[in-house]
Structure 1
Amino acid sequence: MATTLTAPGRQSRRSDVAPEGKRSKRRKRLSPALIIATVIVAVLALTWLVPFAWATITALKSETEAAAAPISLVPKSGFTLDAFVKVLQQGNIPAWTWNSLFTSAVVTAVTLVISALAAYALSRIDFKGRKVLMTVIVASLIVPPPVLIIPLFYQMVSFHMIDTYWGIILPQVIAPAMVFVLKKFFDQIPRELEDAALVDGAGRIRIFVQVVLPLSRPILAAVAIFVFIGAWNNFLWPFIVTNDSAMLTLPVGLQTIKSAYGIQYAQNMASALLAALPLILVFLFFQRQIIKGISTTGLAGT
């Protein structure tokens, strides 16, 4: 009898506990802070999606419908891909896309190597002038890039690098902001790991490659993505250093596609979408690395 009485009691207790757990989870899900955060995120998402949706709709219209007043979301003649076809026909899109991909990839790789080595030296090696150099790096963050355009252009002329890949790449590989971010991350890595490697006979380069870099994958991925996006979107410097149409990057090349009939709204929006499409794909594929890198380093607060 005892066994028959206790078994239902246990079952009843479990049945009583389960609804309370579910209720607590529901309360957490419907907390005011979570609701407010969801609303804020939704508003921010809409502020980005509305212009993107408007550009997409305009690019899918004919030029007559795009310039017609009053503005309508759905054109009377229907959507068309004429704007994209004209942009692709008028410009050398494959060559410009390759130029942007190649230069952005090389800029990202070289910037990562230089910034990581400089940041590690500033974080771990005590040398003369270390504080002064760090001060100069931080101070250089407030220098606007257009100020350096003229001296950099004269340097490229003297090095005969106009209309070359290296002329586009080299001035972009120095990134003080990335050095600062990586240095802050390296400061958080426990020194005991490096001390143990030093006791085992490892040198600085081996420690950097086999100990520090594997622990820094999130921030390295985030920095690589930020540098790539910046190099891809860079319009001013490639525009100044290139004259040959075959050497233009995609943002510069798309701006050369002009019509004799004035502003072509549909073609302009189609060009903007073509230039932004690779960056959207990069973010969609690597958004986890971006978020993880920011949360790991505290980059959002710097």
Structure 2
Amino acid sequence: MKPRANLAWSLLGALLAVLLAAIWVAPLLWALSTALRPEHETVSAVFRWLPQDWTVEAFARVLAAGNVGRWLFNSALVALLVTVATIALSVMAAYAFSQLRFRGRQLLFGLAMLAFLVPFEALLVPLFRMMNQLRLIDSYAGIVLPQVVAPVVIYVFKGFFDAIPAEFREAAVMDGAGPLRILWNVYLPLAGNIVWAMAIVTFIAAWNNFLWPFIIVTSSDMMTIPLGLTQTYDAFGVRYAQLMAAALIGALPVALAYVLFQRRVTHGFLAATGLKG
């Protein structure tokens, strides 16, 4: 009875996994199906999963309606700058909080973690005033700088650095290495998977960020893709095929990034939680 019971539970788990996967992928397939049909089919009273007349007209109209190439470039540049700056600052901060001993260390770490309790929306007005005083409105620096502080990334790196045996650092100190060299040559190689995981998550978050670019950007040439696509929505009105096409164009780069680095992201989160992949 026991082998049969185990087989039954395995089959049940597999069926549940397939069901959850179907529920997750169904909206994506519907979005793609909608984007590949003529506009008159999107408002048809007859429900069909697949288009009767396949067409890429919606994608062509989206690409022709706005400066999509410029918006994609802006998003890629902003997301890359945010990712590099966030990872660099978070790694150095986490190393200092974890391995260095200085007065006020625990207090500073506690203050950094208190940022978890402050929603970004509450900081919009002071951040905008600060960027205005620095004359960074409608600039790459104005978009990037307020996004580079990530307490959760600091917390993840600190937790990993805390788990590294102290003998590693002591041996490097005996060899005459300074803090930056120890971080670069000892701790970063050990945290490689976590760096990749946090970088991909940060990149995706920066790419998808709509609220802050909406506040700080004033010209079409500086818009990121989530913000720029809202301009095409206004031009189209209620045209569901083109709305879905625009959403897919905006989501495709981050989806590809996750697919390409999925293994590193998985290994990074396993390492961060103390599990073995």
TM-score, normalization by structure 2: 0.93
Aligned equivalents of 1:39, 1:64: Cα separation in 2: 37
8 Å CA contact 1:120–1:186 kept in 2: the answer is yes
Give per-residue Cα distances to partners, 1:279-302, cap 9 Å, x unaligned.
Answer: 1101110000110011111189xx
Question: After the TM superposition, which residues 1-302 of structure 1 pair with which residues of structure 2 at under 5 Å, given as runs?
Answer: 31-32=7-8, 34-76=10-52, 78-258=53-233, 262-298=237-273
**How far is 1:33 from its partner?**
5.2
Runs of 4+ in 1 over 6 A off after TM superposition: none
Q: How big is the alpha-carbon RMSD for the aligned residues of Structure 1 and Structure 2?
A: 1.8
Give per-residue Cα distances to partners, 1:193-251, cap 9 Å, x unaligned.
Answer: 11111111111111111111111101000000010000000001011111110110001
Name the % identity: 42
* Secondary structure at the counterpart of residue 233 of structure 2: coil
Shift in alpha-carbon separation, 1:189–1:32, aligned structure 2, 3 A: farther
- Larger Rg computed on CA atoms: 1
8 Å CA contact 2:236–2:242 kept in 1: the answer is no
TM-score, normalization by structure 1: 0.86
8 Å CA contact 2:33–2:51 kept in 1: the answer is no
Letter in 2 for 1:272: A
Structure 2 residue runs without a partner (length 5+): none
Aligned equivalents of 1:36, 1:133: Cα separation in 2: 49
Letter in 2 for 1:47: I
Structure 1 residue runs without a partner (length 5+): 1-26
* Secondary structure at the counterpart of residue 256 of structure 1: helix
> How many pairs does the alignment contain?
272
8 Å CA contact 2:79–2:207 kept in 1: the answer is yes
**How far is 1:32 from its partner?**
5.0
